[in-house]
Structure 1
Amino acid sequence: MAKIAVIVGTVYGGAQYVAEQAISTLGELNYDCQLFEDASLDAVLAFAADIWLVISSTTGEGDIPDNVFPFYLQLKDQFPLLTNKRYAVIALGDSSYDNFCGAGEQFNELLAELQGTEIAPMLRIDAIETLEPELLALPWLTEHFSH
């Protein structure tokens, strides 16, 4: 059974809710998932996941939420190569801002730099278009994570 580390960056709880729903959906697809709300690089690496799934909202001017920013910095500073890891990013944002889905973009770029293999192009969910991001995220997960 493949393992997925679900790393969540949230401000008001929307990304957290999507992550919780994602774990349920991925569990039904026979994945062993662990949620990392205040992720540390050591904890995520210790879980030894086959796949990293980052689900993050964006705050401020395209910034990474406070709860996951230390994890992002640890990744940048320690730069562990992810050559044998696959990853996916679900980014929540608001297209009325200049840096739409900026946190997701930053994570996507960094995971690619670390030589991870992208499972699917990043999913961008616009708060202006949908009030229930899980309605877009869950079918996307089912499409890209079905064995």
Structure 2
Amino acid sequence: MKKISLVFGSVYGSAESVADTLYRELENRGIAVELHQPESLSDYVPNEDELLLMVCSTTGDGDLPDNILPWFLQMKDRAPYLPELTYAVVALGDSSYDTFCGGGHQLDELFSELCAKRLGDVFEIDACETMEPENEALGWLKKWLKLLK
């Protein structure tokens, strides 16, 4: 299996906790994984030989968290052509807002524009329905890993 690069954007720590949980589970399964901290993303362009897994919360009016916004803007400005990149998005949000999971969907739209291929649907975790987004993400991960085979 290809190495997985895991990127996250978080406001209050939920998306970071989900990313940490997914990272530990992937490591426990013997899958090569690298967790990128948001502050280390400057000049980072995903390697097309890897899988990109993005975990992102939403803030404001469907906005990206401040810690991942610079990378998002950098990728948008550079617009690298990534037709061989496969990615997935785990989006966290609150369905009582019209902009539910807007941060994750912005990442999905950007990588689609860069010609990368999404594997599976954007997985949305609703804060109105769960107090433990990590458990929701682990359930999703098991299904997502089956898509890789």
Maintained 8 Å contact 2:22/2:138? yes
Maintained 8 Å contact 2:90/2:125? yes
Counterpart CA distance in 2 for 1:57 and 1:20 is 14
Counterpart CA distance in 1 for 2:2 and 2:27 is 10
SS in structure 1 at match of 2:58: coil
What stretches of structure 2 of length at least 5 have no aligned partner? Answer: none
Match of 2:69 in 1: 69
Residue by residue over 1:64-111, the C-alpha shift from the partner in whole angstroms, topping out at 9 and shown as x without a partner, is: 000000010011000111111100000000011110000011001111
Q: TM-score by structure 1 length?
A: 0.92
Match of 1:40 in 2: 41
Q: Give 1:40 deviation, angstroms.
A: 2.0
Match of 1:92 in 2: 92
Q: Give 1:48 deviation, angstroms.
A: 6.3
Counterpart CA distance in 2 for 1:53 and 1:27 is 14
Residue by residue over 1:20-43, the C-alpha shift from the partner in whole angstroms, topping out at 9 and shown as x without a partner, is: 010111223332111122142523
Q: How high is the sequence identity, in percent, across the aligned residues? A: 43
> How is 1:1-147 mapped onto 2 (pairs within 5 angstroms)?
1-38=1-38, 39-45=40-46, 50-146=50-146, 147=149
Counterpart CA distance in 2 for 1:51 and 1:31 is 11
Aligned residues: 146
Counterpart CA distance in 2 for 1:49 and 1:37 is 20
Moved over 6 A (4+): none
Q: TM-score by structure 2 length?
A: 0.91
Maintained 8 Å contact 2:48/2:84? no
Counterpart CA distance in 2 for 1:44 and 1:15 is 21
- The AA in structure 2 aligned to 1:143 is K
What is the CA RMSD across the aligned residues, in angstroms? Answer: 1.6
What stretches of structure 1 of length at least 5 have no aligned partner? Answer: none
Counterpart CA distance in 2 for 1:20 and 1:36 is 10
- The AA in structure 1 aligned to 2:50 is D
Q: Give 1:119 deviation, angstroms.
A: 0.8
- The AA in structure 1 aligned to 2:44 is A
Q: Give 1:44 deviation, angstroms.
A: 4.6
Maintained 8 Å contact 2:49/2:84? no
Maintained 8 Å contact 1:9/1:65? yes
